[in-house]
Amino acid sequence: MTIRTITSLRNYIMDFDLGKEFEEDLGPVDGRKCQTVVSWEGDQLVCEQQGEKRNRGWRHWLEGDHLHLRMTAEDEVCVQIFQKVK
């Protein structure tokens, strides 16, 4: 699977096999490296990252025209909701 994040500031491409651990190089994002596993849990795409912080990762899911993103790191949670432009 490939996830591409393209912005006016920087681009990041995440290329991986579902359910298999890989070393993720987040240099373009925040300079970290971590061991990552991305898999499906029901209808949610879930990423678990092992590195310098515990409970680090994210999950994506769709509800109608909304893409939900829930990111965690230690005891902090960030939620973003994106609406599809018609």
Place of tokens 């029901």: 42
State pLDDT tens for residues 60-74: 999 999 999 999 999
Domains of the chain: 2-83 (2.40.128.20)
Pairing of β 44-50 and β 56-63 = antiparallel
d(Cα 86, Cα 65) in Å, to the nearest integer?
Answer: 9
State pLDDT tens for residues 1-40: 999 988 888 888 899 999 999 999 887 777 888 999 999 9
Average pLDDT, the chain: 92
